[in-house]
Chains A and B, each alone.
Chain A
Amino acid sequence: MNVTIVDYKSGNISSVINSFKEVANDKVTIEVTSDVNKIKSSDKIVLPGQGSFKSCIDALNKIKGLRDTLSEFAITNKKPLFGICVGLQMFADIGYEETETKGLGWISGKVSKIDNQGGKFKLPHIGWNEINIVKDSKIFKDIENNSHMYFVHSYEFVPNDKKVISATTDYSTKVVCSVEKENIFGTQFHPEKSDKFGLKIIDNFISL
């Protein structure tokens, strides 16, 4: 089996690569590429994302055919895809960071700034926070409720259909931090930086 980490030249993905390679441990091939042909033939895809919603969408659009290839992979062919941080946020229809930007539209909803109650809560939301698992998700196998995960973000994904939410975290409000819709998975937190529980989530995705 091979798992492809999509390298679309947006932000720092070294930690994502390191963590997947650590977990894969030679059982699974980890590819890092933006080559659409390689992506098409992958078994699973990881879509990382750092920086702003707009910068990630712009970077994705710059690579010819990438957006369509990803949609074909996840929506038409229903193969497993895992979005991390802005990678998850891009599933939405629209994002409001910097300026209004159209997302991939895979899971209906919007990405807006966390309501920090007029400055009562600092932004970015940086550090370790507990996740409240609200639905059984395949990537949470053997993950206890209230496990700590590492977060760094100021914006949150607000899906229209609440049934896709698999976990939330408390920061000013109940922030959506994990979604699962059929073959599409995403976490707002960084499993690659969340120590052994984070690595377990990566392992769960690889083992799907």
Chain B
Amino acid sequence: MLKNRIIPCLDVKNGRVVKGINFVDLKDAGDPVEQAKIYSDGGADEICFLDITASNENRETIYDVVEKTSKKCFVPLTVGGGIRSVKDINKLLNCGADKVSINTAAVENSKVVVDSSKKFGSQCIVVAIDAKKNGDKWEVFTHGGRNNSGIDALEYAEQMERNGAGELLVTSMDRDGTQVGYDIDLMSKISSKVNIPVIASGGVGNLDHLVDGIKLGKASAVLAASIFHYGKHSVKEAKDYLDSKGIPVRI
């Protein structure tokens, strides 16, 4: 039986982890490679790096991080943040990323998703949807949540599936950072609309939220950042908890 995945996400800025594990005896707490290794050794089903480097001159740092990580971690590695073109995707894949997550570029130029999924295969193209509720619908935001595109998130999800996305990473802007749980309504609506896997993101504060994301939100995978950082929960604890709730996980 296919297992639901748990994906810890690390925010990386200028090649350094800005929010990360802060509890074990790390030689270098800001080293993304070491943190990714701890997660993969702890049973993470995938690792996600979100590059939040703001300046273009430091953009290159992520390639080095990906290259080093892919030589140490033998679980899938997804990299997102700042990807603009097929060329950027090619470079990340060549450095050892297994999937890329495309956000703003997918909204601004749908050709990026069409072309890259044709060139590299849908399996490595994840479209990240940052959605915020407005009345009775959700709108897609770009540029790290700063700009409202006005696009309906549900229609957009279907369009991205048609364009060749292999998975959708759906983040609720309303819930992100609040630790009150995923936007279940959003997740389940998108998941029912599309036939490709949905990864739920944004708002996890405890292990029950992960359970809800899968059981109620119908997500194939759950992504979380804060609960795994600062030692609140380990990936192993999360998996044991999901298992105890009858959710199939890889243990």
Q: Which one of B122, B123, B250 has the greatest number of beta carbons of chain A within 10 Å?
A: B123
Contact A195 B124 (CB under 8 A): no
B197 contacts A193, CB within 8 Å?
no
Which residue in chain A gives the minimum CB-CB distance to B124?
A12
Please pick, from A12, A122, A151, the residue contacting B220 in the complex, using a CB distance under 8 A: A122
A124 and B250 contact, CB distance less than 8 A: no
Please tell me if the beta carbons of A193 and B75 are within 8 angstroms of each other in the complex: yes
In the complex, A51→B115 CA distance in Å? Answer: 12
Query: B230 contacts the other chain (Cβ, under 8 Å)?
Result: no
Assess whether A18 is in contact with B71, with CB atoms less than 8 Å apart: yes
Roughly how many angstroms separate A127 CA and B221 CA in the complex, as a whole number?
Answer: 9
Residues in B neighbouring A198, C-beta threshold 8 A: 74
Verify B250–A12 contact, CB threshold 8 A. no
Given contacts A128-B3, A130-B1, contact A193 B76 (CB under 8 A): yes
Give the residues in chain B near A112, CB-CB below 8 Å. none
Q: Taking chain B's interface residues, is the majority helix, strand, or loop, or is none over half, making it mixed?
A: loop
Within 8 A of B (CB), among A1-47: 11-12, 14-15, 18-19, 21-22
Q: Kindly state whether residue B18 has any CB partner on chain A within 8 Å.
A: no
Are B74 and A19 touching (Cβ within 8 A)? yes
What distance in Å separates the Cβ of A129 from its nearest Cβ neighbour in chain B?
A: 5
Query: How far does the alpha carbon of A52 sit from the alpha carbon of B124 in the complex, in Å?
Result: 12
Residues in B whose Cβ lies below 8 Å from that of A195? 40, 74-75
Given the interface pairs A51-B120, A125-B2, the reply to whether A14 lies near B96 with Cβ below 8 Å is: yes
Main secondary structure of the interface of A (DSSP, over half): mixed
Q: Of residues 139 to 155 in A, which have CB atoms within 8 Å of B's CB atoms?
A: 148, 150-153
B98 in contact with A15 (CB, 8 Å)? yes
Q: Is B206 an interface residue (CB 8 A)?
A: no
Query: A50 contacts B220, CB within 8 Å?
Result: no
Once bound together, how far apart are the Cα atoms of A192 and B121, in whole Å? Answer: 18
A63 touches B (CB below 8 Å): no
Q: Residue B74 contacts which of A22, A51, A123, A129 (CB distance < 8 angstroms)?
A: A22
Q: Which residue of B lies closest to A172 (CB)?
A: B2
B222 shortest CB reach to chain A, Å: 12
Chain B residues packing against A (C-beta within 8 Å):
1-5, 40, 45, 70-71, 74-76, 93-98, 119-124, 166-167, 195-197, 220-221, 250
A and B contact pairs by CB, cutoff 8 A, 12 listed: A18-B96, A22-B71, A50-B123, A51-B120, A55-B121, A124-B197, A126-B220, A127-B4, A127-B221, A130-B1, A171-B2, A192-B74
